[in-house]
Amino acid sequence: MLFSTKAEYGVRLMVELGRQPGSQPVSLGSVAEAERLPLSYLEHLVAKLRKAGLVDSTRGAHGGYRLAKPAEEITMDAVVEALEGQIAPMECFHDTPEGKVLCSHEADGDHACSTKLLWMRVQGGVNKALAGTTLAELVEFSTESAPTRAAAIGSAA
Amino acid sequence: MLFSTKAEYGVRLMVELGRQPGSQPVSLGSVAEAERLPLSYLEHLVAKLRKAGLVDSTRGAHGGYRLAKPAEEITMDAVVEALEGQIAPMECFHDTPEGKVLCSHEADGDHACSTKLLWMRVQGGVNKALAGTTLAELVEFSTESAPTRAAAIGSAA
DNA sequence: GCATAACCGACCGCTTCGGTAGGATTTAGA
DNA sequence: TCTAAATCCTACCGAAGCGGTCGGTTATGC
């Protein structure tokens, strides 16, 4: 599997928050019940989302979580990266702060890294899919009717 | 990381085989030495490639491995899948023999799976990158000069 | 028959995954 | 002011996979 259930659960959590109409916070317990996921495990995941600035929290009674930004402005690359850590196809890949991509094999060798072309393409494909999908799309997708749903899938592939 | 070093090592092994000019087999030991990878670990990986029909082996002295098909006909989706197992973004995804994609959450729920749209797009992106890259491209890429290399990366993203 | 090399299966230390447990802290409302 | 509700935090646990090693068996060329 490319991603673990951390991404799955976390995205479902975000969608659930995105479904709420008002701006009043929704408790993690109700999210856990709605999605039938273990509450104590969700606590770990939502902590990562909060540290990444994707959700806001209010403590105490009647507290809970809400989206830190409108759903249209939240893209899935930020969500998945917050949950799974840096997304790279291979361990030798790491982004520099300037947005470049480095392959650690290239430093110590004279000839080119034979796999770099492949992993660059994979990373490009994944990035395009994640960055091109907003939370608002998923919220809408999960509530609309089945026939219209089929058409949506290809639109950012 | 999306993939483990099994894919990395396995692809390097395939590239190394693709580099050989003639059709005489090359021993795993020489591949291990050239790529500086542990021989006994490579044995496990090449076994998967052999079972997938990607390489042929000849036993005994002066034996070794060679590509089962010309490098132009070997695409990376087959190689990576042989090494890593079925490639799906999430555990609830599994391909049917007919080529369809199933999400196991859809069977037991009335409303749609809120993450399916996202994972479909991711899988599409990864598949396109893997299936659109041939072993021959990687062999060529790893031997050609640095300036021409930069242009190649985007061509199948 | 000997060196070479593919084959095979068991094992091992380590990390991550998915999840649980127990408590500390904050806050709204009675 | 007390209490219930909720976030927050740390530690722990079994299972599985990863990366790798080892010892042995089989097949083959010289």
- Please give, rounded to a whole number of angstroms, the shortest distance from the CA of A156 to a CA of chain B: 7
Q: How far is the CA of B38 from the C1' of D10 (A)?
A: 39
Backbone dihedral angles phi then psi of residue A80, each to the nearest 5 degrees: -65, -40
Q: How far is the CA of B29 from the C1' of C3 (A)?
A: 15
pLDDT digit string, tens, across residues A15-65: 999 999 888 999 999 999 999 999 999 999 999 999 999 999 999 999 999
- Rounded mean pLDDT of B105-132? 85
Alpha helices in chain A (DSSP H): 5-19, 28-35, 39-51, 76-84, 105-108, 116-131, 135-143, 146-152
- Rounded mean pLDDT of B15-29? 94
Confidence band for B2, pLDDT divided at 50, 70 and 90: very high
- Rounded mean pLDDT of B30-59? 98
Q: Indicate if the pLDDT at residue A146 is higher than 80.
A: no
Closest by CA to B149, choosing from A85, A116, A83, is: A116
Contacts of A56 (CB under 8 A, 6+ apart): A25, A50, A65, A66, A67, A68
Q: Compute the distance between CA of residue B70 and CA of residue B122 in angstroms, rounded to an integer.
A: 29
Chain B contacts of A100, Cβ < 8 Å? none
Interface residues, strand D, Cβ cutoff 7 Å: A 27-29, 40, 43-44, 46-47, 50, 57-65, 91; B 4-6, 9, 37-38, 40-41, 43-44, 58-63, 84
Q: Compute the distance between CA of residue B99 and CA of residue B94 in angstroms, rounded to an integer.
A: 10
pLDDT digit string, tens, across residues B59-115: 999 999 999 999 999 999 999 999 999 999 999 887 766 666 667 766 544 457 899
Confidence band for B143, pLDDT divided at 50, 70 and 90: confident
Looking at chain A from residue 66 to 105, which residues have their Cβ under 8 Å from any Cβ of chain B?
76, 87-92
**Do the chains contact at A133 and B121, CB–CB below 8 Å?**
yes
Kindly report the pTM of this predicted structure: 0.92
Q: Compute the distance between CA of residue B27 and CA of residue B64 in angstroms, rounded to an integer.
A: 4
pLDDT computed for residue B93 by the predictor: 86
**Do the chains contact at B90 and A114, CB–CB below 8 Å?**
no
pLDDT digit string, tens, across residues A95-123: 766 666 667 666 544 457 899 999 999 99
Please measure the distance between the N-terminal and C-terminal CA atoms of chain A and give it in whole angstroms: 19
Q: Compute the distance between CA of residue B37 and CA of residue A89 in angstroms, rounded to an integer.
A: 20
The answer, for A6 touching chain B at a CB cutoff of 8 Å, is: no
Q: How far is the CA of B60 from the C1' of D25 (A)?
A: 13
Chain A contacts of B139, Cβ < 8 Å? 114
Chain B contacts of A156, Cβ < 8 Å? 121
